[in-house]
Chain A
Amino acid sequence: MDWIGLGIIVAKIVFFLLVGFTAAGYVMNLAERKISAFMQDRLGPNRVGFWGLLQPVADIIKLFFKEDVVTDRASKVIYFVAPMIIAFTALSALAVIPLTDVLTFFGRGMAIQIANLNVGILFIFAIASLGTYGAVLSGWAGNSKYSFLGGLRSSAQMISYEVSMGLSIIGILMIFESLRLNDIILGQSPLLWGFLPKWGIVVQPLAFIIFLTAAFAETNRVPFDLQEADAELVAGFHTEFSNSMKFGMFFMAEYINMFTSSAVIVILFFGGWQIPGISTAEIVSFFISLGASEFFASLFTILLQLGVTFAKIAFFMFLFVWVRWTIPRFRYDQLMNLGWKGLLPLAILNILATGLVMVII
């Protein structure tokens, strides 16, 4: 057995877990509060640590020491498992996300990506569709009307928007002719007319709008956060989990899902780890021409690409927060109408139009 290869895979898994917990969970938790405070002209958390930087740590400690109250006649096992399902689905979607291109280290191809599946994009969709279980089960298990309503709303919404989400990317798949995320990114490298990168958003602008809207619904964020509409349902499907680390899992899963959605948007529509017009080989040879050895040239390139990806992802994470504190919530019938009567026909139209254009060209 290839022990080094196995070790690399384990290291990658640890890395992605760290990204999930820190970049997505910790940083976004803090960033959301700071940005919302800025938008509402408040100060935000500024007591724990310098500039409130340790606030999430304080929260985690608080969550750990809270009493675990289980509601009367709750379904114990499911009540216990549901938060785990949510956290599991959120984390496992990270497995196929490529953060850099494949680079050579000691004669071994390496990319910051756990599994390069030939059905990568479908894997993300499949895992995302499992998230519904966590929501609907946690809503049901607590034996509470509010959380049950929240769970039902969430599953109805997720199923509705998954359809338009899946159909919206078909245009992208038709153009780049692959389900493998790395191939889709590489397909976006050529420049159109010498200056415009052939990014997904350039060739499929309508698909981008549909996908972005559906992504907001899939991650249960405002303006589509009807399953936890705090004015109507207290806290929706996790009302009865207001205690202990189970609530922490819901909280973290939401941020990790935001990270995954942003990453998928970046990969499908914004060229992933690419800097427009510059290929990976050119970056490596640039570093070598500066006098770096081959190993360090690869290392710098991988770090540079990681930085590029994270910068792009960070912008979309910011967009999620930005929208949350800007736009009011939809009404439930408006949400369903938008999904089925607005986005779905548009997505199908987009497929037809893409097909026509591809036949003509």
Chain B
Amino acid sequence: METMLFYFFAFVAVATALLVITRRNPIHSALWLVLCFFSLAAVYVLLSAHFIAIIQIMVYVGAIMVLVLFVIMLLNLSEKELGDAKPTVLKFCGVILSGIFMVLLADGVKVLAPQAAVSVDEKFGTAEMLGRLLFTDYLLPFEIASLLLLTAMIGAVVLAKKRR
């Protein structure tokens, strides 16, 4: 059952990701990306990382993608502004580059030997467990990440103030 669900959501994730880059209408692309994030969240649930799954939906789907959609709608691009299709040379380069990336990725995955399924205890993936880890083993990266976000926030305020 779980394997079936995994293949279903994995398929949806890959298919929607492809649709994101092939659609011409940016709004449709954005909506497919939303669906892609959803199926990723479902995969997280299958990995019993419920908290991460919910945060994925809350932050990426609920906040970031709404803003992206917002901006695309406000720009209201017409067919002309979207421009002609990309020249063939560029497409060709894109295919080669992604091919190289794919090879590198496959090389990385190959190293991971298939492992027997491990059963995780009930606390695994809960907010409690995650919080404990973040404030003990991963305290430094956690604080650095929060500093990064703070910088971005200050930057946004400064940018918004400059107009006056």
Contact = CB atoms under 8 A, between A and B. Distances in A.
Contacts of B51: 118-119, 122
A136 interface: yes
A155 interface: yes
B58 A129 contact: yes
B34 interface: yes
Interface stretch (B59-67, B91-99, B142-150): B59-67
B34 A126 contact: no
A102 interface: no
Nearest to B52: A119
Contact of A152 (B34, B57, B62, B73): B73
Given A118-B126, A119-B127, A136-B70, A129 B50 contact: no
Contacts of B67: 159
Given A132-B66, A136-B69, A119 B50 contact: yes
Contact of B66 (A78, A148, A159): A159
Interface string B109-149: 00000000000000000110000000000000000000000
Nearest to A123: B54
Contacts of B74: 152
A13 interface: no
A148 B74 CA distance: 10
Bin the interface of chain A by size. Answer: 20 to 34
Interface class of chain B by DSSP: helix
Nearest to B127: A179
Contacts of B54: 119, 122-123, 126
A117 interface: yes
A118 B69 CA distance: 31
Chain B, interface size: which category? 20 to 34
Given A117-B50, A129-B62, A155 B70 contact: yes
A122 B58 contact: yes
B27 interface: yes
B153 interface: no
A129 B51 CA distance: 16
A332 interface: no
A133 B55 contact: no
A216 B1 CA distance: 41
Contact of B57 (A126, A132, A156): A126
A155 B57 CA distance: 16
Contact of B63 (A117, A129, A136, A148): A129
A126 B31 CA distance: 17
Contacts of A119: 50-51, 54, 126-127
B69 A130 contact: no
A140 interface: yes
A152 B76 CA distance: 13
A119 B66 CA distance: 23
B70 A130 contact: no
Interface in A215-240: none
Nearest to B41: A126
A107 to B, nearest CB: 22
A189 B133 CA distance: 31
A80 to B, nearest CB: 13
Interface in B23-69: 27, 31, 34, 50-51, 54-55, 57-58, 61-63, 66-67, 69
Interface of B: 27, 31, 34, 50-51, 54-55, 57-58, 61-63, 66-67, 69-70, 73-74, 126-127
6 contacts: A129-B61, A132-B62, A136-B66, A136-B73, A155-B69, A155-B70
